[in-house]
């Protein structure tokens, strides 16, 4: 299967755009979704840690032990550099959540966080299942999954095509969809898409979006029903701001 190189995208973003401002925005975003009090003095696992900005945010919010895991060696390298640069104590492991049981360094945590990642593994429900296994009893699972929409299969085709395009074709697609996505987000939300609150620039967000393959999606009912069967209770749900965007779920392990 052809996989999009998220690590390269995060590397470029970190080198060109990451500043203290983006880190503070990530901190606010994480505290808003999970709860500052639920992170402080708790162990925190960041699945698909990317550039490490949310692992750094967790450390700043007082997490007692922060670990990030990412399948991309470039992401791990980038996260380690960012953590060092911003004086955050966080450990990063290169590995796949689909093979979590083989990662002996990976232990159960009180907060397991994975934003916009599990649907890119090629086996979303197995990835969710493995993430659940890593939550301590009484702990929290916070995930963001692409919402199912009638246009989802079309976007899946776009992502598939992008990953087989030569470099010049990819560049054309990025700038074409930059305009399309900008207009669509503005019309749906009424807000300037360039003003983001999750520490990512709009340009690299577009690259991430059109390149993000494998790509899966699900309705709220599908996710909640699956996770509830594993003994977790939904405590918070934030619907996607745009039809094919990520819906956020916070579960508590009973």
Model confidence pLDDT, tens digit, residues 228-254? 999 999 999 999 998 999 999 999 998
Examine the domain organization and report whether 51 and 72 are in the same domain: yes
The predicted model gives 24-50 an average pLDDT of 96
Q: What is the pLDDT of residues 165-214, one digit of tens each?
A: 998 998 998 889 888 888 877 776 777 766 655 555 777 778 888 889 99
Examine the domain organization and report whether 27 and 141 are in the same domain: yes
The predicted model gives 108-123 an average pLDDT of 97
Examine the domain organization and report whether 74 and 186 are in the same domain: no
Examine the domain organization and report whether 175 and 242 are in the same domain: no
Q: What is the CATH number of the domain that holds 246?
A: 3.40.50.150
Distances in Å between the Cα of 79 and the Cα atoms of 14, 50, 53 are 9, 7, 7
pLDDT at position 6: 84
Distances in Å between the Cα of 150 and the Cα atoms of 42, 147, 153, 218 are 39, 10, 7, 11
pLDDT at position 1: 64
Mean pLDDT of the chain: 91
pLDDT at position 187: 73
pLDDT at position 104: 67
Total residues found in the chain within this entry: 254
Record the pTM. 0.88
Examine the domain organization and report whether 184 and 68 are in the same domain: no
Number of domains in the chain: 2
* In-domain check, residue 32: yes
Q: What is the pLDDT of residues 92-102, one digit of tens each?
A: 999 999 998 77
Examine the domain organization and report whether 207 and 232 are in the same domain: no
pLDDT at position 64: 96
Examine the domain organization and report whether 101 and 166 are in the same domain: no
- In the chain, the percentage of residues whose pLDDT exceeds 70 is 95
Examine the domain organization and report whether 21 and 141 are in the same domain: yes
- CA-based diameter of the chain, in Å? 51
First vs last Cα of the chain: how many Å apart? 36
Examine the domain organization and report whether 80 and 159 are in the same domain: no
Domain that holds residue 106: 6-148+215-253
* In-domain check, residue 245: yes
| Residue of 245, 238, 119 lying closest to 181 (CA atoms) | 245
Confidence of residue 158 (pLDDT cuts 50, 70, 90): very high
Examine the domain organization and report whether 12 and 48 are in the same domain: yes
Examine the domain organization and report whether 188 and 78 are in the same domain: no
Examine the domain organization and report whether 181 and 136 are in the same domain: no
* In-domain check, residue 1: no
The predicted model gives 42-63 an average pLDDT of 97
102 backbone dihedrals φ, ψ, rounded to 5°: -90, -10
């Amino acid at each position: 299967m052809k996989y999009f190189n998220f690590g390269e995208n995060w590397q470029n973003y970190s080198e060109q755009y990451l500043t203290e401002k983006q880190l503070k925005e990530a901190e606010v975003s994480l505290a808003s979704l999970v709860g500052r009090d639920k992170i402080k003095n708790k162990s925190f696992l960041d699945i698909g840690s990317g550039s490490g900005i949310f692992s750094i945010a967790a450390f700043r919010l007082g997490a007692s032990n922060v670990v990030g895991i990412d399948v991309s060696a470039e992401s791990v390298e980038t996260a380690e550099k960012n953590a060092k640069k911003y004086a955050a104590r966080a450990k990063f492991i290169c590995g796949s959540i689909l093979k979590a049981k083989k990662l002996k360094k990976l232990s159960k945590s009180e907060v397991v966080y994975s934003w916009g990642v599990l649907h890119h593994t090629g086996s979303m429900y197995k990835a969710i299942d493995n993430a659940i296994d890593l939550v301590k009893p009484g702990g929290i699972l916070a995930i963001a999954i692409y919402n199912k929409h009638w246009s989802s299969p079309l976007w899946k085709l776009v992502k598939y095509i992008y990953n087989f395009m030569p470099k010049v074709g990819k560049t054309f697609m990025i700038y074409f969809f930059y305009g399309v996505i900008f207009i669509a987000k503005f019309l749906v939300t009424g807000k300037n898409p360039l003003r983001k609150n999750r520490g990512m620039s709009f340009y690299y967000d577009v690259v991430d979006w059109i390149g993000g393959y494998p790509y899966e999606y699900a309705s709220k009912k599908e996710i909640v029903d699956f996770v509830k069967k594993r003994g977790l209770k939904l405590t918070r749900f934030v619907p996607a701001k745009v039809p094919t965007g990520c819906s956020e779920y916070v579960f508590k392990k009973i």
